[in-house]
Amino acid sequence: MNAVHRRTQDLSITEHRLTVPLVWSDAADQRTIEIFASIVARPGGEHLPYLVFLQGGPGSEAPRAFHTPTSPSWLDAALEHHRVVMLDQRGTGRSTPVGDGILSRGAEAVAEHLTHLRADSIVRDAEALRAHLGVDRWSLLGQSFGGFTTLAYLSTDADSLEQVFITGGLSTIDRHPDEVYRLCYDKMRDASERYYWRFPEHRDRMRRLTDLAAAGRIALPSGEVLSVSRLRSAGSMLGTNDGWQTLWALLEHEPETNAFRYDLQAAMPFGGRNPLYFVFHESSYASGHATRWSAQRMEPAEFAADPTLFTGEHIRREWTETVPAFQPWRDVALALAEHEWPKIYDAAAIAASGATGAAAVYLNDVYVPFEYSMETAQLLPGVRTWVTSEHEHNGLRSGPVLSRLFDLAAGRAAR
């Protein structure tokens, strides 16, 4: 692994590339991939302890660090106490990324490849990087799916961790994906009704749009003929701090305008840039289960009856037929939906980890249900929880959440 050093204004960035096994569990399998990480510090802070940022998703790379103003927004708070490791999780960014080009291998081979990109393998990659850097222990910051990965880390390698900070990522440990998606529908029903309570005129606008979509009369710039289910998925914006503003502006546009078509295409949660997010997403809740299109199967009757109710990260099988970006991935997605995913978490090991730190649990989280987060929090008495309705799932990126967690872990703030 060679290190590349660069400086951007007031930040020092060191980039690392590391070759690791694709299949950590089988020494006989000789396939390898490359892992990319950048270590960000302020000048003079190159000897501070490490904080590894684990990104949400799955299927998205770590953010790139910039200054003036510092980006991402939480980075300033992190750099006061740490060097920050921005790890591109395997299959994303510059870590042997998965894109449409891989499909030339055939659906069966691609599906098998993707089964090795889960959180447990990301933990092994992080451990390889830690060993190479000669670090005894480091801390983690896990956002959303990054929090899930943190729980996998605590299941196998808790001795490597100094502290853990989790934002919207206390996943359920043992529950079936069906239970999770059923509860997420409840959250989206509540979010929908709150939105329409504030903007009642938009319910009629949404009815008009669903009628147009059902008739195949809305075409997006990508060539996608919008389905009702894809239109409803724009409700995913209600899971972010200011997403309701984007949704409001979208519904104010007339459906035949460029503004509406382009803004809607950008607002929907799944797209062609990160195909892993679509084909791999439900697996993040599968610890010892096959998903079999869980979100679609768990749709309540009231959602089927009322298309004005928004959905969130509720993937549907039909999109493999109707969305141009997903059509090439159809057979891969079908295969992964039937895959029996092995268990990824060890509740006993997590409870015995002695982990310390802090976690933000968002009361109205439409992606990671509060109720199941609090069940998992019971396994981590040393990780102090901050339950808040001040922020939604993206609170880390839009508020002083990380500073609050640092203070909470240090005993400088009350829960």
pLDDT tens for 226-274 read: 999 999 999 999 999 999 999 999 999 999 999 999 999 999 999 999 9
213 with 357, same domain: the answer is no
Please report which confidence band the pLDDT of residue 72 belongs to, taking 50, 70 and 90 as the band edges: confident
379 with 303, same domain: the answer is no
Mean pLDDT of 335-364: 97
Per-residue pLDDT tens over the stretch 197-234: 999 999 999 999 999 999 999 999 999 999 999 999 99
Specify the pLDDT at position 73. 87
Do the beta carbons of residue 393 and residue 174 sit within 8 Å?
Answer: no
Q: Residues with Cβ < 8 Å from 52, sequence gap 6 or more?
A: 84, 85, 87, 126, 138, 139, 140, 141
List, in sequence order, every residue forming a beta bridge with 164; answer none if it has no partner: 140, 357
118 with 65, same domain: the answer is yes
Residue 414 lies in a domain: no
Greater model confidence, 240 or 411? 240
In the chain, % of residues over pLDDT 90: 91
Mean pLDDT of 117-129: 98
Residue 415 lies in a domain: no
- pLDDT for residue 5 is more than 80: no
Query: How many domains in the chain?
Result: 2
Q: Select from 189, 196, 124, 205 the least CA-distant residue to 160.
A: 124
Specify the pLDDT at position 44. 87
- pLDDT for residue 389 is more than 90: yes
What span, in angstroms and rounded, lies between the C-alpha atoms of 404 and 390?
Answer: 12
The CATH number covering residue 392 comes to: 3.40.50.1820
In order of 192, 254, 256, 271, 385, the CA distances from 204 in angstroms are: 13, 13, 17, 27, 40
What span, in angstroms and rounded, lies between the C-alpha atoms of 241 and 324?
Answer: 30
Regarding pTM above 0.75, the answer is yes
End residue of a domain, out of 282, 314, 338: 338
Residue 203 lies in a domain: yes
The residue written with tokens 């809607």 in the block is 264
Per-residue pLDDT tens over the stretch 162-206: 999 999 999 999 999 999 999 999 999 999 999 999 999 999 999
Specify the pLDDT at position 9. 65
Greater model confidence, 45 or 152? 152
186 with 233, same domain: the answer is yes
Query: What is the per-residue burial (b if ≥16 Cβ within 10 Å, else e) of 248-285?
Result: eebbebebeeeebbebbbebbbbbbebbbbbbbbbbbb
- pLDDT for residue 115 is more than 70: yes
312 with 284, same domain: the answer is yes
User: Amino acid identity of 56?
Assistant: G
In the chain, % of residues over pLDDT 70: 96
Note down the domain range covering 385: 3-174+345-409
End residue of a domain, out of 338, 373, 388: 338
Count of Cβ atoms closer than 10 Å to residue 167 Cβ: 29
- pLDDT for residue 331 is more than 70: yes
Specify the pLDDT at position 119. 97
Specify the pLDDT at position 6. 60
What average pLDDT does the chain have? 95
354 with 374, same domain: the answer is yes
Please report which confidence band the pLDDT of residue 58 belongs to, taking 50, 70 and 90 as the band edges: very high
Preceding peptide of 69 cis, ω within 30°? yes
390 with 248, same domain: the answer is no
Two structure tokens written together for 395: 């609170």
Specify the pLDDT at position 398. 75
Query: Order of strands across the sheet with 3-8?
Result: 3-8, 11-21, 32-41, 83-87, 50-54, 138-143, 161-167, 357-362, 383-388
End residue of a domain, out of 311, 338, 365: 338
- pLDDT for residue 309 is more than 90: yes
Preceding peptide of 72 cis, ω within 30°? yes
